[in-house]
Amino acid sequence: MTTAPKPGTTPPRGATILGEETRGDFETKHMRINVGPQHPSTHGVLRLVVDLDGEEIAALSPRIGYLHTGFEKTMEHRTYQQGVTYSNRMDYLHAFGHDLAYVLSVEKLMDAKVPERAQRIRVILTELNRIASHLVFFGTGLLDMGALTPFFYGMRERERILDIFEMVTGVRMNYGYFRVGGLSKDLPDGFEAAVREFLNDMPKAIEQYNKLFEKNDIWVSRTKGVGVVSRETALEVGLTGPSARASGLNLDFRKAQPYSGYEDYTFDTITFEEGDAYQRFRIRMLEMEQSLNIVRQALDRLEPGPVKDPDRRISLPPREELESSMEAVIFHFKLVTEGFHPPRGEVYVPTESARGELGYYLVSDGGSMPYRVKARVPSLINLQALEPTCVGGLFADMVVNIATLDPVMGDVDK
Amino acid sequence: MSALKDAAVAHLETLGGQTSESFGQTHVTLPAAQIREAITYLRKAGYEQLSDIFGIDYQGDPEHQGARFHVVYNLYAINEGERLMLRVAVQDGESIPSITPQWTAAGFMEREVYDMFGIEFDGHPDLRKLITPEDLDGFPLRKDFPIGESPTLFGDGRFLDPATFRAGMLGQDQGRTGWVGGARKGVTSEQTEPASDTGGDA
């Protein structure tokens, strides 16, 4: 069984590769193999260079950047409002989470007042997206361990969530629905009914998922005690999100520093002590139920009202005003061509994405485009936990560790 | 301001730190030489999580004074819910002591700063580029890095020239990138010419 080495005891990367060692009468050599970047169990284009001592992993080094898109640089050359186009393309599985993190930072710069209805809708969509993201985790995670069926079950419910998103935004991914100061438009008719129907069916589906794997001997023996991350190691490598909470780190920014009205909703932050793959897996299944709770509460409190900040510095004037008001035309023209100018300063608003702490650090120089955009993406930093979880363990467990750390490569490479 | 933050700021000021505020967030600017000591102190004091390390290039910002680059250390105290931004100002070519030996979490973060800004970290056990290819010349997030239609230079003289690249894609040219475009699929340059309008007589 795997034991996590203490931080600092693993050999420095690139130092003892192919080092020879004598064991009994046999001369053994480490074998270096390359995993990925195009391998189904690496969840995208993660490439790992692994040194094997028989079946055991002696050293491991992630090589990333295959999906680097230069979003941060591009966002420096677009107006603040246009940044929404890029933010959701980073973590394509929890796109609303990225959109929300970005607009929250800009709203802090602009001191925007987001109407209550817009905040509730944001929470509903972000939490539904979190469920969809965890469903992909559930499906592909078990797929990596050899279970084919759960993938289809997970995708079945995810499809319903994507249908709801398509109804609201018109697309199934890369939504770009949030705007600085609110939303691009109000919800369509039938949204509430669709979400309520989903809320009714989902608990039964989760029950079904749990039946599929929870008592499965193979799953239990492949995850229990595998890839243990202690609370200390989690802090040492900077782990956040569900993976860190499975290691006993009580850190959830929805509770610690509430945003978008998360303080109004009752939900539990689930933590476990063991920190193994088993608990990292279960915690996401339980978090789906908490997300359903939040969606239910937000939907109950959803009341008619505006979905945009009425402030003309930020939001476009309503369409009908353009026909009668010269001033509205001027505001419209200025916002579309030039955008707004936040005051000089630097902001950072942490949020809780499906993968961990996510926040956009924005530097404003007073212009209409951000001077510097830095996305603090959880997947990249969580990937540092791969070395302590895998080294000393079996090669086959590496796949389990990648799956349960749940990286999204768009979120890693940016 | 909590007691933790007050104590931390007071201690950092004895190390030569200068405190500033931006949108309610406390920033402390430190001399580069003090960063290891400051991080050791803050980690013990309760700033248990290193959220991020990133660089900012202020070249071209007329209102900015001092060194060209800032490297920001984003620290979070989990129990108190307090965040502290530690900043180090460096000139082009200067390096910063690495904190990776004392805090593993900094490993990727410092590599990313090195990759994107070319700021070196002394004592980092494995200071390689993190994201961009090994043979890319220059540091993409510097303000003087060319974007858009400018050719992107690689180490061995190879470069991506947009016009040549497009010609290669259309099969009109071999392309200096080695991308053969239409020719690879057996489409000759004659075939990629726009078909002449034969009219609607038939």
**Does residue B201 form part of some domain?**
no
B155-163 mean pLDDT:
64
The rounded distance, in Å, linking the Cα atoms of B69 and B58 is 6
Instruction: Single out the residue of A356, A341, A374, A297 nearest to residue A180, CA to CA.
Output: A341
Is the model's pLDDT at B170 over the cut of 80? Answer: no
Residues B23 and B93 reside in one and the same domain: yes
Give the pLDDT confidence of A119-177 residue by residue, as tens digits.
999 999 999 999 999 999 998 888 888 888 888 998 999 999 999 999 999 998 888 89
- Please report whether residue B195 resides in a domain: no
* A288-303 average pLDDT score: 92
The more confident residue out of A39 and B66 is B66
Provide the pLDDT for residue A290: 92
Which ipTM score applies to this complex?
0.84
The CATH number of whichever domain residue A227 belongs to comes to 1.10.645.10
The strand pair at B82-90 and B69-77 is best described as antiparallel
Domain extent at residue A145: 71-310+340-413
CB contact under 8 A, A7 and B51: no
Query: Is there a single domain that holds both residue B151 and residue B130?
Result: no
A111 touches chain B (CB under 8 A): no
The chain-wide mean pLDDT, for chain B, equals 78
- The CA–CA distances, whole Å, from A132 to A138, A227, A270, B27, B97 equal 10, 25, 19, 37, 42
* B199 is a domain residue: no
pLDDT at residue B197, rounded to an integer = 42
**Chain B hits for A380, Cβ within 8 Å:** 108, 112
> Tell me, what's the pLDDT at B29?
92
Does A210 have pLDDT greater than 60? yes
Q: Is B20 on the interface with A (CB under 8 A)?
A: no
**Cross-chain Cβ contact B108/A380 below 8 Å:** yes
- A395 vs B192, higher pLDDT: A395
Q: Are residues B51 and B103 in the same domain?
A: yes
Name which of B20, B49, B69 to mutate to probe chain A: the one with the most chain A Cβ atoms within 10 A of its Cβ: B49
- Main-chain dihedrals φ then ψ at residue B79, nearest 5 degrees: -70, -40
pLDDT of residue A321: 87
Q: What is the mean pLDDT of residues B41-59?
A: 91
Q: In which domain, by residue range, is B114 found?
A: 3-137
Residues B67-90: pLDDT tens digits?
A: 889 999 999 999 888 999 999 999
Q: Residue A27: pLDDT above 90?
A: no
Residues B94, B173, single domain; the answer is no
Q: What is the pLDDT of residue B69?
A: 92
Q: What is the DSSP string of A175-236?
A: ---EETTEESSPPPTTHHHHHHHHHHHHHHHHHHHHHHHTT-HHHHHHHTTSS---HHHHHH
Contact B61 A257 (CB under 8 A): no
The pLDDT of residue B159: 62
Q: Test B23 with A256 for CB contact under 8 angstroms.
A: no
Least confident of A60-64, B97-101, B177-181: B177-181
B10 and B107 fall within a common domain: yes
Residue of A nearest to B145 (CA): A73
Residues in chain B: 202
User: Are the beta carbons of B108 and A251 separated by less than 8 Å?
Assistant: no
Who wins on pLDDT, A24 or B27?
B27
Task: List, for residues A67-95, the tens digit of each pLDDT value.
Answer: 888 899 889 888 899 899 999 888 888 99
* Residue A209 included in any domain: yes
Q: With cut-offs at 50, 70 and 90, classify the pLDDT of residue A24.
A: low
- What confidence tens digit (pLDDT) does each residue in B124-150 have? 888 888 888 887 778 888 888 766 555
Nearest to A260 by CA among A123, A362, A107: A123
Give me the pLDDT at residue A26, please: 59
Q: In the listed set B114, B137, B160, which residue is the last one of a domain according to the structure?
A: B137
Single-letter residue type at A16 = T
Nearest CB to A235 within list B49, B61, B141:
B49
Determine what percent of chain A is predicted with pLDDT higher than 90: 42
CB nearest A381 (choices: B56, B63, B108): B108
Of the partner residues B27, B48, B107, the one whose CB lies closest to the CB of residue A384: B107
Interface residue B77 vs chain A (CB under 8 A): no
Q: How many domains does chain A have?
A: 1
Flag whether B197 is in a domain: no
CB contact under 8 A, B125 and A13: yes
Q: Assess if residue A18 is contained within a domain.
A: no
Looking at the 3D structure of chain B, how many domains does it have?
Answer: 2
Q: Is A60 part of any domain?
A: no
Q: Is residue A119 part of a domain?
A: yes
CB of A256 less than 8 A from some CB of B: yes
Cα-based distances in Å from A126 to A318, A353, B131: 26, 9, 28
Q: Does residue B102 sit in the same domain as residue B184? A: no
What three-state secondary structure class fits A160? helix
**Same domain for B180 and B106:** no
Residue B12, judged by CB atoms within 10 A of its CB (0-12, 13-18, 19+), counts as buried
Q: What is the CATH number of the domain that holds B26?
A: 3.30.460.80
Within a domain: B38 = yes
CB contact under 8 A, A237 and B105: yes
The yes-or-no verdict on residue A2 having pLDDT over 50 is no
Do B71 and B157 share a structural domain?
no
